[in-house]
Amino acid sequence: MSALLAATQDPKVHLTSQTRVIAALIAVAFMVLILELIRRDRLQERYSVVWFVAGLGMLAGAAFPGLLGTVADLMGVRDTNVALFSIILLLLLGLALNFSVIMSRQAAQITRLAQERALEKAREQAASAEEALEADDEGFEG
Amino acid sequence: MRTLVFIPAWNEAASVAAVIAGVRERLPEADVLVVDDGSTDATAARAREAGATVASLPFNQGLGAALQTGYLYALRERYDFCAHLDADGQHPPGDVAGLLEEVYADRADLVIGSRYRDRGAAESDDYRPTLSRRIGTSVFRFFLTLATRQRFTDTTSGMRAANRRVMALFSQHYSPDFAEIESLQLAVRQGLRVEEVPVRMLERTGGASFLTPLRSAFFIFKGMIVLLVGQFRPRRREPVEPVPLGKARAGQ
């Protein structure tokens, strides 16, 4: 309990080397996962950049614990945990919005694709009906 | 001069053939296209049997996308005018002719068939809307009139006639899931002449209305957001130039 109190009251970040190693391992594993997904064509490169940046950020946080304190100071937040969660929350919010935008664009593209296909089929049908009509006319003349 | 009448249809196998027959009888010179919006029943087959050309969307895309398909077909196949009506048999096909008269005479770019305008003249006593529909109608009527500064009585009418200016606009910008209201707002903001003509409304010949009270409430809520967002879209001051017939294909 006293340790917890000390942690919340102290503006400096105290990460044990054990936590740092685990955080770094998770960050590296995350980036390997991204690479693997690209390699298997499950993730396109253009959507992977943002995740790589996120992985690098995690790695930087683990390697230089002072960094987080500096960022918190810059934000004017005393509690580094609050700063950390705020940043992550905002990033995720931005990412979710980004995906909604991409989704909307793709929905519009899918609709247009469906329409183009439907028009193509209708045009074929109309053309063949016209041909049949012309053939009938020729039949009458001959 | 060529006219296309298109009918968006989603699982309307029971009524679509009668609607097509009605249109062909009352407008013999017009071509009929059914936009089959991913129906899982025999809508497309019934429509072909009835002599219509059918554009089948591979999966259900919503009314807006279906209507846009019709406008796109009219534009690309170089029709001078187009009109559309619902496939459920609620619109008397003969009324489409009255709508088309207005665009033929160039009195308007887009003509809406209104169930509520001049009720006496249109003798629409055989159509009684439900309560939730009446509420939705008045809310939309109020806000659309506010947004466009033009009086509209029937904001969600599915019976319209249009010229090539409207085809060009709607084939590019048409909300996939909020077709009627947003398109009216868009047309007025783009400087097009929009006009209402009274039409009759019949009871459904087949299928069921999709509106439940909860859905209606959500529909109204969504519609108001759509209208609000629409007010921030760029407005064009000068009227849209008429679209020459040859340009459509090259532009696509």
- Residue numbers of the domain that contains B113: 3-251
Quote the mean pLDDT of chain B: 84
Assign A62 a pLDDT band (cuts: 50, 70, 90). confident
Question: Among residues B9, B14, B6, B5, which one has the least CA distance to residue B205?
Answer: B14
Chain A positions touching B65 (Cβ under 8 A) are 111, 114-115
pLDDT digits (tens, 9 = 90+) for B96-136: 999 999 999 999 999 999 987 765 444 445 556 677 777 87
The most confident of A124-138, B106-120, B160-174, B216-230, by mean pLDDT: B160-174
Phi/psi class of residue B207: alpha, beta or left (left: φ > 0; alpha: ψ in -120 to 50)?
Answer: left
The backbone region for B223, taken as left when phi is positive above 0, alpha when psi lies in -120 to 50, beta otherwise, is: alpha
Contact across the interface for A118 and B77, Cβ inside 8 Å:
no
Structurally, how many domains does chain B consist of?
1
Q: Which residues in chain B have Cβ-Cβ distances shorter than 8 Å to A115?
A: 57, 61, 65, 68-69, 72
Asked if A103 is an interface residue toward chain B (Cβ–Cβ < 8 A), one would say no
User: Which residues sit opposite B55 in a β-bridge?
Assistant: B35
A127 in reach of chain B (CB within 8 A): no
Mean pLDDT of chain A: 83
Q: What is the pTM of this model?
A: 0.78
Q: How far apart are CA B57 and CA B33, in angstroms?
A: 13
pLDDT for the residue A52: 86
Asked if A33 and A1 count as a contact pair (C-beta separation under 8 A), the reply is: no
Instruction: Kindly list the domain boundaries of chain A, sorted by start residue.
Output: 2-141
| CATH assignment at residue B200 | 3.90.550.10
Helix or strand (DSSP H, E) at A110 = helix A80-141
Confidence band for B248, pLDDT divided at 50, 70 and 90? very low
A123 touches chain B (CB under 8 A): yes
A119–chain B Cβ distance below 8 A for any pair: yes
Secondary structure in 3-state letters for B115-159: CCCCHHHHCCCCCCCCHHHHHHHHHHHHHHHHHHCCCCCCCCCCC
Which of B22-28's residues contact partners 24+ apart within 8 Å by CB, and which partners? B22/B92, B22/B93, B22/B94, B23/B85, B23/B93, B23/B96, B24/B50, B24/B51, B25/B93, B26/B93, B26/B94, B26/B96, B26/B97, B27/B3, B27/B93, B27/B96, B27/B97, B27/B100
pLDDT of residue B159: 94
Tell me what the mean pLDDT of segment A71-94 comes to.
88
Helix (H, G, I), strand (E, B) or coil at B224: helix
Would you call A104 an interface residue with chain B, using a CB distance cutoff of 8 Å?
A: no
Chain A residue with the nearest C-alpha to that of B62: A111
Closest CA to A66 of A4, A23, A12: A12
Query: What was the pLDDT predicted at B12?
Result: 94
Of the candidates A114, A119, A126, which has its C-beta nearest B59's C-beta?
Answer: A114
pLDDT digits (tens, 9 = 90+) for B33-92: 999 999 999 999 999 999 999 999 999 988 999 999 999 999 999 999 999 999 998 899
pLDDT at residue B178, as a whole number = 63
Q: What is the dihedral of CA A100, B67, B249, B246, to 10 degrees?
A: -140
